[in-house]
A and B are shown apart, each in its own frame.
Chain A
Amino acid sequence: MSDTIGLILITIGIFFELAGCIGLVRLPDIYNRLQAATKCVTMGTCLILAGCVVLKGICSPIALKAIICAVFILLTSPTAAHALARGAHLYGVKLWDKSVCDMYEKDKK
């Protein structure tokens, strides 16, 4: 039973990772690509780690390490995306042509 649940969790995680990678290719500019990459990769990785926890049992050493890894990923991955987006904007990477508004650019002047 726990094998089935664990494998289902890992499968869903891999599906989200795949969606994130396709988004990385399809979406137009760096900010939209970061959106897809951050959300899907964070959640996908956390689901894969949760699958490992279910497969191995909550008290095993691997499960404890997986939980710690999930916490670290949840803390660091959005921060890295934030740093990349800010760096790209300060460097002068333009938004996509069809973007609606850019208040950051307006306020920087």
Chain B
Amino acid sequence: MRKMVLFIISFITWMLLTYQRETCLELQGVVVGLFAALLTALIFGETFAEEPRKLFDIRRYFWFLVYLPVFFYWCLLANFDVVYRVFHPSMPINPGIVKVKTSIKSKSGLAALCNSITLTPGTLTVDLTDDGYIYIHWINVESQDIEEASRIIIRKFEKILTRIFE
């Protein structure tokens, strides 16, 4: 099941990567693509997704579409934040490593949450423990309390990510 899903995804990726207008569907390219996708699926199939049935849930894709604009908004804000701090003559930074708690359990959800944290204003994921704590390097520490820091940093993503990945 997992291998099948990974096979289809890697085949589509291969076809998009090698797509050219003149030779859009050549037999040779398709055969090589099938072979490469099969190899990928056989080698990496076991490490792919924990529960492939989640991939067929339409509601998750809907929430993913909701998540994209939120993510890009914070991403853009993060860039202006960096531009402000870097070009400011006195460099207004106040860094430190804080600890936050998350309720997301699934591995892909945690990966998405950590990547989102890294791309949002002033925060960078440093490490992750098994019992749901994340260590975050914060360029402008507003609170050292776990609850307070969690509220400021991850609440904006956690609700939507829970709907996508849990």
Residues of A near any B CB (own CB < 8 A): 16, 19-20, 22-23, 26-29, 31-32, 34-36, 38-40, 42-44, 60-61, 64-65, 68, 74-75, 78-79, 81-82, 85-86, 89, 95-96, 98-105, 107
Q: Of A22, A60, A96, A107, which is within 8 A of B86 by CB?
A: A22
- Ranked nearest first, the 3 interchain pairs of A and B with the lowest CB-CB distance are A100-B96, A78-B118, A78-B115
Most buried by B among A39, A82, A107: A39
Contact check, B95 vs A82: say whether CB atoms are below 8 A apart.
no
The dominant DSSP class at the B interface is mixed
Residue of B with least CB distance to A69: B17
In the assembled complex, 17 residue pairs joining A and B whose CB atoms fall closer than 8 Å, in A order, are: A27-B86, A28-B93, A31-B124, A35-B137, A36-B85, A38-B118, A42-B75, A60-B21, A65-B19, A74-B115, A74-B119, A79-B115, A81-B118, A95-B96, A100-B144, A104-B126, A107-B99
Residues of B near any A CB (own CB < 8 A): 13, 16-17, 19-21, 75-76, 78-79, 81-83, 85-87, 91, 93-99, 111, 114-115, 118-119, 122-127, 135, 137, 139, 141, 144
